[in-house]
């Protein structure tokens, strides 16, 4: 049920189309630069591309989005003044000794900027400044920014084990546009089957060790928040359920339409843009949610129900400790 849009961050090499004939036809081509993005430099208007020095290179030529060629003697290109969206930079090494060496092939790298979560104009990066992350749904580009802060990762490429659709109540929807963080790495998109009297699916983990780490949250619910990115244009009510596993309470959080939130714990506008819901885990513990013993088999981390119609777009689903 995971539908993906691929793009975001990729590195490839391609041949230069213009005539770069060296003075010596037997000249040796320089090594192609290996590019990377300085993650700390990424902003709403630019980023920095870096590479290791290439032996026998005198300078480097780079091009942004098929623009004009720029030259630098440094091993980085600081790109500024960009609009939101995906931008491509290509770099090649240029020799100082053109009798012995010739230019390298182009190396290419792309980066999406803007922090606009699919075009809402809202900065959704604050939720990445916390600690102790338990990932349920998140693209890999964003997850790499949390290096060293991930306690448990419930994601898997095997959707038959990760996402259990109950009684065939959901079918795959059409995922369009960037995900919650503005990347093109994909997100969960499911549509309720026509004429269903209910709908539901569980995010399941087969990794028992990570399932048992949920006890950390249960033991200190006041420290944790459940974050969910949602977008929709219909008014279906979404219900999020937590499990206790041992016959205990299975409390819910009900998420409705911001225009009609009556009877709902939380709400968001149904305008087809990404919005974030943050649910304090005390919301569930106050209703009896508690995990009192370790498990010996995989379990649902949480479950969702989207009513009897509509499409569920969900991304950026994780538990974490918010930054102070």
Q: Please enumerate in sequence order all residues whose Cβ is within 8 A of that of 148, keeping only pairs 6 or more positions apart, or say none.
A: none
Mean pLDDT, residues 221-243: 93
Q: How far is CA 196 from CA 192, 236, 268, in A?
A: 7, 13, 24
Average pLDDT, the chain: 85
pLDDT digits (tens, 9 = 90+) for 21-80: 555 678 999 999 999 988 878 877 788 999 999 999 999 999 999 889 999 999 999 998
Q: What angle do CA 257, 261, 262 make, to 5 degrees?
A: 140
Q: How would residue 123 be classed by pLDDT, with cut points 50, 70 and 90?
A: low
Taken in order of first residue, the domains within the chain and their CATH numbers are 7-113 (2.60.40.10), 125-321 (2.60.120)
Q: Are 234 and 228 in contact (CB under 8 A)?
A: no
Mean pLDDT, residues 112-127: 60
Q: Is 272 exposed, middle or buried (0-12, 13-18, 19+ CB in 10 A)?
A: middle
Using a pLDDT cut of 90, give the percent of the chain over it: 54
Specify the range with the lowest mean pLDDT, choosing from 6-10, 52-56, 257-261: 6-10
Residue 261: strand, helix, or coil: coil
State residue 16's pLDDT score: 39
Report the 10 Å Cβ neighbour count for 208: 14
Q: What angle do CA 80, 85, 86 make, to 5 degrees?
A: 85
Give yes or no for residue 265 having a pLDDT over 60: yes
**Higher model confidence: residue 275 or residue 19?**
275
Render 177-227 in DSSP notation, one character per residue.
S--TTS-SS-EEEEEEPTT-S---EEEEE--HHHHHTHHHHHH-GGG-EEE
State residue 217's pLDDT score: 97
pLDDT digits (tens, 9 = 90+) for 296-316: 998 999 999 998 888 889 999
State residue 21's pLDDT score: 53
This prediction has a pTM of 0.64
28 DSSP β-pair partners: 101
Task: Return phi, psi of residue 168, to 5°.
Answer: 55, 40
Give yes or no for residue 109 having a pLDDT over 60: yes
Helix or strand run (H / E) with residue 85 = strand 85-95
Return the closest-CA partner of residue 137 out of 99, 177, 185, 178. Answer: 185
Mean pLDDT, residues 213-236: 94
Q: How would residue 6 be classed by pLDDT, with cut points 50, 70 and 90?
A: very low
């Amino acid at each position: 049920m995971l539908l993906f849009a691929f793009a975001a961050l990729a590195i490839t090499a391609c041949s230069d189309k213009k005539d770069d004939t060296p003075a010596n036809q037997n000249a040796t081509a320089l090594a192609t630069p290996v590019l990377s993005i300085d993650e700390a430099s990424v902003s709403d208007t630019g980023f920095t591309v870096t590479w290791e020095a290439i032996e026998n290179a005198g300078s480097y030529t780079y091009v942004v989005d098929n623009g004009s060629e720029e030259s630098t003697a440094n091993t980085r290109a600081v790109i500024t003044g960009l609009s939101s969206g995906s931008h491509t930079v290509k770099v090649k090494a240029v020799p100082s000794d053109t009798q012995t060496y010739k230019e390298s092939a182009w190396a290419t790298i792309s980066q999406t900027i803007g922090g606009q979560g699919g075009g809402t104009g809202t900065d959704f990066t604050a939720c990445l400044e916390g600690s102790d992350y338990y990932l349920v749904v998140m693209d890999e580009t964003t997850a790499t920014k949390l290096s060293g802060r991930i306690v448990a990762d419930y994601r898997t490429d095997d959707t038959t084990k990760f996402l259990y659709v109950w009684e065939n109540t959901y079918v795959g929807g059409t995922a369009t546009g960037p995900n919650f963080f503005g990347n093109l790495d994909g997100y969960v998109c499911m549509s309720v089957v026509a004429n269903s009297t209910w709908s539901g699916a569980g995010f399941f983990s087969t990794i028992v060790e990570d399932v048992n780490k949920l006890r950390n949250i249960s033991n200190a619910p006041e420290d944790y928040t459940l974050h969910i990115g949602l977008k929709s244009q219909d008014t279906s009510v979404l219900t999020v359920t937590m499990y206790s596993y041992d016959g205990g309470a299975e409390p819910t959080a009900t998420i409705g339409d911001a225009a009609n939130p009556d009877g709902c714990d939380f709400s968001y506008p149904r305008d087809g843009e990404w919005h974030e819901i943050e649910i304090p885990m005390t919301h569930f513990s106050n209703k009896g949610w508690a995990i009192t013993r370790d498990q010996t088999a995989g379990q649902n981390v949480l479950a969702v129900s989207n009513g009897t119609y509509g499409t569920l777009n969900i991304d950026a689903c994780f538990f974490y400790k918010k930054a102070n």
